[in-house]
């Protein structure tokens, strides 16, 4: 990709750039001098701006040649390219569960999408006490549609292999996931950090537990070697913008072909983190409800797409066996996704407590001792799950284990 004409856009540069795109200029209305450019960069990686004109608003995202929050950590520019490719691939499958794709510039690595108004980052909304029961099932629908529709169940293998070829080049961000999620937390590394000494003995337990480490090895291998579907790749509660009525998955720059349970597990893991970060019992019950309704919705939608008899999916993996036998295949497939979901949820919890990423949810707890207890509870739960993966085969097993903590008031 040509990087010679790349430059980081400031407000003036953004106005000039968008003025050259007639459809977007029309959407904004008025003249460029009237357009308000407002920086809203929030994630770790990119510059993000809202551009508001008399008639409308767009969101503009530009890759930087380094991690936004750490300029010494160099990074290739192509991550907005992969986000654009992800959005182009899944947009038609998920409809209004993501943002509308408007433009991508391959020299400036600028992606322009629909802006969202009135939406809040889901993590923030949860921290503010929002209780939106429809959000989790919407995410279930999102994962079901995006994953089914990009899998060998729905598409000829040639299409899937072509898509795998595109996203197998998304290596800088896959390397980040690999290091931060699957590696650093399980050894001494300067990127790790945790403030509460109460976590240290649990960290030691995890790092010396053969069962836990074998589970992590297995999940890491599956992450890199089970290209079932096009994943979002970073589906935590910060990658979701929502109101009570409208939910959008954003920030697909980590997209890769991988195991479907990775997306499910990221989402579930972050709900579990919120569970432990909120000592309020009603709020905890709401999280249990959300995890159950997410999985139920995902499962139902995925199976509905698979069994669409009026228009059977034209995927290469068409059934050879019919009747009860076909049900066996589907059950085994979903059991595997469930097992992955639980495992990936556990390692997501671990890395967000002891690795590089900070988990804001716990910041709402002002009492340091209570905060430490809550974090230690989350870490101990994740360790327990990794250590007992073979016993946790259904979402009910997982929720029952989580509910134990709730009843104990940890």
Closest separation between CB of residue 331 and a second copy, Å?
11
- 100 DSSP 8-state letter: P
Instruction: Single out the residue of 223, 220, 230, 279 nearest to residue 252, CA to CA.
Output: 230
Backbone angles phi, psi at 159, to 5 degrees: -65, -45
Closest separation between CB of residue 389 and a second copy, Å?
13
Closest separation between CB of residue 286 and a second copy, Å?
35
| 20 CB burial (10 A radius; 0-12, 13-18, 19+) | exposed
Q: Which residue lies nearer to a second copy by CB, 24 or 379?
A: 379
Q: Which residue lies nearer to a second copy by CB, 116 or 317?
A: 317
CA distance 46 to 347: 25
**Is residue 113 classed as helix, strand or coil in its secondary structure?**
strand
Closest separation between CB of residue 325 and a second copy, Å?
4
Closest separation between CB of residue 85 and a second copy, Å?
14
Closest separation between CB of residue 295 and a second copy, Å?
22
Q: How far is CA 374 from CA 107, 362, 364, 365, in A?
A: 46, 8, 11, 9
Is residue 257 a contact partner of residue 170, using CB atoms and an 8 Å limit? Answer: no
Q: Which residue lies nearer to a second copy by CB, 88 or 328?
A: 328
CA distance 143 to 135: 13
Q: Which residue lies nearer to a second copy by CB, 97 or 385?
A: 385
Is residue 206 a contact partner of residue 212, using CB atoms and an 8 Å limit? Answer: yes
Q: Which residue lies nearer to a second copy by CB, 41 or 218?
A: 218
CA distance 344 to 325: 29
Q: Which residue lies nearer to a second copy by CB, 331 or 400?
A: 331
Instruction: Single out the residue of 152, 392, 166, 139 nearest to residue 246, CA to CA.
Output: 139
CA distance 232 to 254: 6
Closest separation between CB of residue 174 and a second copy, Å?
7
Find all residues with CB under 8 Å of 332, minimum gap 6, and list them. Answer: none
Instruction: Single out the residue of 50, 53, 60 nearest to residue 31, CA to CA.
Output: 53
Q: Which residue lies nearer to a second copy by CB, 238 or 258?
A: 258
Is residue 208 a contact partner of residue 201, using CB atoms and an 8 Å limit? Answer: no
Token pair 């900070």 in the structure block, residue: 358
| 282 CB burial (10 A radius; 0-12, 13-18, 19+) | exposed
Q: Which residues bind a second copy (CB under 8 A)?
A: 152, 157-158, 160-162, 164-165, 168-169, 171, 174-175, 178, 186-187, 210, 213-214, 216-218, 220-221, 224-228, 316-317, 319-321, 323-325, 328-329
Closest separation between CB of residue 210 and a second copy, Å?
4
Q: Which residue lies nearer to a second copy by CB, 324 or 409?
A: 324
Q: Which residue lies nearer to a second copy by CB, 282 or 320?
A: 320
Angle in degrees, CA 171, 176, 177, rounded to 5? 100
Q: Which residue lies nearer to a second copy by CB, 228 or 293?
A: 228
Closest separation between CB of residue 169 and a second copy, Å?
7
Q: Would strands 66-67 and 57-62 be described as parallel, antiparallel, or unpaired?
A: unpaired
Closest separation between CB of residue 91 and a second copy, Å?
23
């Amino acid at each position: 990709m040509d990087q010679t004409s790349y430059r980081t856009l400031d407000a003036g540069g953004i106005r000039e750039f968008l003025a050259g795109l007639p459809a977007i200029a029309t959407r904004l209305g008025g003249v460029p001098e009237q357009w308000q450019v407002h920086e809203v960069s929030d994630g770790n990686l990119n510059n993000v701006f809202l551009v508001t004109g008399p008639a409308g608003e767009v969101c503009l995202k530009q890759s930087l040649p380094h991690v936004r929050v750490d300029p010494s950590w160099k990074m290739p520019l192509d991550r907005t390219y992969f986000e654009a490719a992800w959005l182009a691939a899944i947009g038609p499958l998920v409809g209004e569960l993501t943002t509308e794709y408007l433009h991508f510039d391959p020299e400036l690595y600028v992606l322009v999408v629909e802006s969202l108004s009135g939406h809040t980052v889901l993590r923030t909304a949860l921290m503010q006490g929002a209780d939106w029961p429809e959000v989790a099932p919407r995410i279930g629908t999102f994962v079901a549609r995006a994953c089914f529709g990009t899998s060998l169940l729905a598409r000829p293998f040639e299409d899937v292999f072509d898509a795998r070829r595109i996203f197998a080049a998304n290596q800088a961000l896959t390397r980040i996931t690999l290091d931060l999620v699957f590696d650093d937390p399980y050894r001494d590394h300067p990127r790790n950090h945790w403030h509460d000494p109460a976590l240290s003995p649990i960290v030691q337990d995890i790092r010396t537990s053969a069962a836990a480490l074998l589970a992590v090895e297995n999940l890491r291998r599956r992450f890199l070697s089970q290209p079932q579907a096009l994943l979002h790749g970073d589906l935590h509660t910060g990658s979701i913008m929502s109101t009570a009525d409208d939910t959008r998955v954003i920030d697909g720059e980590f997209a890769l072909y991988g195991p479907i349970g990775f997306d499910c597990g990221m989402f579930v893991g972050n709900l579990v983190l919120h569970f432990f970060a909120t000592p309020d019992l009603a709020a905890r019950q709401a999280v249990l409800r959300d995890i159950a309704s997410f999985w139920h919705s995902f499962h139902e939608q995925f199976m509905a797409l698979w069994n669409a008899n009026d228009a059977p999916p034209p995927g290469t993996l068409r059934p050879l066996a019919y009747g009860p036998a076909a049900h066996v295949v589907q059950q085994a497939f979903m059991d595997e996704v469930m097992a992955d979901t639980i495992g990936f949820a556990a390692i997501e919890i671990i890395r967000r407590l002891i690795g590089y990423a900070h988990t804001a949810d716990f910041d709402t707890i002002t009492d340091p001792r209570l905060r430490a207890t809550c974090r230690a509870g989350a870490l101990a739960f994740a360790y327990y799950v990794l250590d007992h993966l073979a016993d946790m085969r259904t979402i009910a097993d997982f929720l029952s284990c989580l509910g134990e903590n709730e009843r104990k008031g940890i």
